[in-house]
């Protein structure tokens, strides 16, 4: 019964994704306003993160950003079904690419696309998949039906060379596609616990941050090309940045700090679009208090 309902829900969302884009965008904004009121644990997480990262803001400023975040998040949720099921022509029309020359300069060579957790990242990854094989890493969802739909939707183009890697397979699994010249769309800015992580500042707050970007770049001799996707009124923009010079530097902590500093710059450009509902500061240095004590039952 549970799987039947999940399949029905996916079918309904796929049908909704065929709506004209202005209507679909409006539906997402409306759902975000509703979610702000109903998803109280996630609302508290978002506001806690914003208080930690922006202590100089007023509470009204933080709440305004958090409200907008819920709208952007729900927009991206409904619109991702366009990217999972829509035609290449519709995807190209909905999501444009800027800075493609930075990608083409290293195409066919070991490359890591640094894709931080902005709400448009699913759209950006699929948009690139339309044009070229791309490898990526993902976490299995609690729902088998959703996991299968997500995997198929994200890898339906260039199926013979695109690679979807489960997070449980570890970083070693990512080395093969990188070395084979398949760009690796990598999302390394979540709190995954203390393993293979360093506490480096994120907006001045020590954050457990994985060091995988630096380690993979060193082992695979890969260039790191930042890739950030923004929601705009008329769709999405994938922005590719110049490959980082002198990276990796040989200093793991300095490289990880550099990554966080880059993400901070992008957050300041569009603060409502970063994934504030994730417990970014869940893992604490020894002796430091839990910032999310009231929401321990909520997964990060």
Considering the domain boundaries, does residue 20 fall inside one? yes
Q: How many domains does the chain fold into?
A: 1
Considering the domain boundaries, does residue 293 fall inside one? no
Supply angle C-alpha 196, 202, 205, rounded to 5: 100
Angstrom distance (rounded) from CA 164 to CA 170: 12
Domain that includes residue 167, residue range? 2-285
Considering the domain boundaries, does residue 294 fall inside one? no
Burial of 38 (0-12, 13-18, 19+ CB in 10 A): exposed
CATH code of the domain covering residue 192: 3.40.1130
Residue 296 pLDDT greater than 50, yes or no: no
pLDDT tier for residue 93 given thresholds of 50, 70 and 90:
very high
Q: How many CB atoms lie within 10 A of CB 151?
A: 16
Considering the domain boundaries, does residue 179 fall inside one? yes
Rounded to the nearest integer, the mean pLDDT of the chain is: 91
Angstrom distance (rounded) from CA 117 to CA 104: 23
Percentage of the chain lying above the pLDDT 90 cut: 78
Of residues 158 and 67, which shows the higher confidence score? 67
Considering the domain boundaries, does residue 253 fall inside one? yes
Considering the domain boundaries, does residue 32 fall inside one? yes
Considering the domain boundaries, does residue 147 fall inside one? yes
pLDDT tier for residue 94 given thresholds of 50, 70 and 90:
very high
pTM of the model: 0.91
pLDDT tier for residue 159 given thresholds of 50, 70 and 90:
low
Considering the domain boundaries, does residue 70 fall inside one? yes
Angstrom distance (rounded) from CA 170 to CA 275: 23
């Amino acid at each position: 019964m549970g799987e039947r309902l999940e399949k029905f829900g996916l079918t309904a969302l796929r049908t909704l994704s065929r709506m004209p884009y202005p209507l679909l965008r409006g539906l997402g904004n409306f759902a975000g306003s509703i979610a702000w009121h109903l998803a109280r644990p996630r609302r508290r997480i978002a506001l806690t993160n914003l208080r930690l990262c922006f202590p100089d803001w007023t509470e009204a400023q933080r709440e305004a950003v958090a409200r907008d975040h819920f709208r952007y998040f729900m927009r991206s949720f409904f619109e991702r079904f366009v990217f999972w099921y829509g035609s290449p022509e519709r995807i190209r029309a909905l999501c444009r690419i800027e800075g493609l020359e930075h990608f083409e300069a290293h195409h066919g060579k070991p490359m890591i696309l640094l894709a931080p957790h902005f709400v448009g990242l699913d759209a950006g990854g699929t948009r690139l998949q339309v044009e070229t094989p791309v490898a990526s890493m993902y976490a299995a969802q609690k729902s088998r039906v959703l996991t299968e739909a997500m995997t198929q939707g994200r890898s339906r183009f260039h199926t013979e060379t695109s690679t979807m890697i489960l997070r449980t397979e570890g970083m070693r699994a990512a080395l093969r596609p990188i070395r084979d010249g398949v760009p690796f769309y990598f999302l390394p800015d979540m709190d995954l616990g203390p393993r293979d992580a360093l506490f480096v500042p994120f907006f001045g707050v020590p954050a457990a941050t994985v060091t995988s970007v630096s380690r993979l770049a060193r082992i695979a001799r890969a260039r790191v090309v930042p890739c950030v996707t923004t929601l705009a009124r008329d769709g999405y923009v994938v922005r590719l940045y110049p490959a980082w010079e002198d990276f990796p530097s040989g200093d793991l902590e300095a490289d990880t700090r550099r990554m966080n500093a880059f993400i901070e710059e992008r957050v300041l450009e569009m603060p409502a679009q970063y994934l504030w509902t994730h417990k970014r500061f869940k893992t604490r240095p020894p002796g430091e208090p839990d910032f999310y004590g009231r929401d321990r039952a909520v997964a990060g």
